[in-house]
Structure formats: structure tokens, C-alpha cells
């Protein structure tokens, strides 16, 4: 029975959060702390953020989906003059041995057509699809809308 205990310990170790945050692994790709900003009732869309670290060959995040929203888009955001603008992108490149942060004010996920408001403290599953590594389902933590200053005009 020693062997099965060791196996159980290994399985449990895999699901232990890294350094206080939560993280997920798909092959050589590490998905760090997926989170979404809480939304107000009636708000149709919400932003999602996470950090990708790639220990392997170049890959791309090509799509995402979630039962929490009608669809999940990949967005970029940048300043054009005085206005922060965002637009949909086809994919997010993940360089070999590199990392990419999806964070407020930059690249992000957009949950379009929310089925219900994202409540702070709740969690929901998100499926990410990479061109080469394939699919992984991660758990998104919803954090208070005031967690970070909101300087983006996140209107759709």
C-alpha cells in the first residue's frame, strides 16, 4: 500500500496552489493565476487575466471558451492618442521559453454575453486551446472590481 500512498501524494501535490496563487500546467505551458474582474448586474462583458509561461517550443493561444459566457474573445488593448482602445486578435503568441502576461491594460480575455454577473469570490471553468499543446481547463477566480485601478474604457 506504500506505492498507492505515494501515488496519492503525487496526485495531491499536483493540485496544490503555487505560492499562494493557483496555477495549471499543460505540457510545457504553465497557466498562472487565471482571474476575472467581478461584474455589475446587467454588465454584458467582463475581462479575464492570467500569466502564460512556456518552457517548451513556440506555441499560440488560439481560442478560449467558458460556460460562464456566450463566447470568450482574445483582446489586445493599447493607447491611441488619449484613448485606450481594444480589439479582437486571432491568437496570442507564446514564444519558446518565454512568458506572456494577460493583464489589465494589455492583452486579455473578454467574456462576452455573460450568463450571470461574475460575483467576487466565485470560480468558474475556462477552457484554453493552444495551437500545439492542445486544450486545458483552468479555474478562474473572480476578484473584486476594485482590485485594480480601472483606467481602461472597457465599453463594448
Q: Total residues contacting Cu ion (rule CB under 5 A)?
A: 3
Nearest position to Cu ion, beta carbon: 75
Subset of residues 125 to 144 that bind Cu ion, contact rule: CB under 5 A: none
Q: Specify whether the CB–CB gap between 34 and 21 falls below 8 A.
A: no
- Backbone region of residue 92 per phi and psi (left: phi > 0; alpha: psi in -120 to 50; beta: other values): beta
110 binds Cu ion (CB under 5 A): yes
The helix/strand/coil state of 18 is: coil
114 binds Cu ion (CB under 5 A): no
- State the Cα–Cα distance between residues 28 and 8, nearest whole angstrom: 23
> Interface mask (CB under 5 A) for Cu ion, residues 43-82, using x and -?
--------------------------------x-------
For the chain, give the number of residues: 156
37 binds Cu ion (CB under 5 A): no
33 binds Cu ion (CB under 5 A): no
86 binds Cu ion (CB under 5 A): yes
Q: Quick one: which of 123, 149, 132 has its CA closest to 94?
A: 132
Query: Which residue number, 30 or 152, has a Cβ lying nearer to Cu ion?
Result: 152
Query: Which residue number, 10 or 40, has a Cβ lying nearer to Cu ion?
Result: 40
Q: Specify whether the CB–CB gap between 57 and 149 falls below 8 A.
A: no
Binding site for Cu ion (CB under 5 A): 75, 86, 110
Amino acid at each position: 500500500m506504500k506505492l498507492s500512498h505515494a501515488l496519492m501524494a503525487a496526485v495531491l501535490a499536483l493540485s496544490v496552489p503555487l505560492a499562494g496563487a493557483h496555477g495549471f500546467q499543460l505540457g510545457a505551458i504553465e497557466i498562472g493565476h487565471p482571474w476575472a474582474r467581478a461584474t455589475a448586474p446587467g454588465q454584458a462583458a467582463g475581462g479575464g487575466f492570467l500569466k502564460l509561461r512556456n518552457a517548451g517550443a513556440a506555441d499560440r493561444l488560439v481560442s478560449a471558451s467558458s460556460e460562464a459566457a456566450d463566447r470568450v474573445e482574445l483582446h489586445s488593448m493599447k493607447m491611441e492618442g488619449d484613448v485606450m482602445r481594444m480589439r479582437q486578435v486571432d491568437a496570442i503568441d507564446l514564444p519558446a521559453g518565454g512568458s506572456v502576461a494577460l493583464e489589465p491594460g494589455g492583452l486579455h480575455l473578454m467574456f462576452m454575453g455573460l450568463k450571470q454577473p461574475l460575483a467576487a469570490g466565485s470560480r468558474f471553468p475556462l477552457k484554453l486551446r493552444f495551437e500545439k499543446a492542445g486544450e486545458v481547463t483552468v479555474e478562474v477566480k473572480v476578484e473584486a472590481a476594485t482590485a485594480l485601478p480601472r483606467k481602461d474604457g472597457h465599453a463594448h
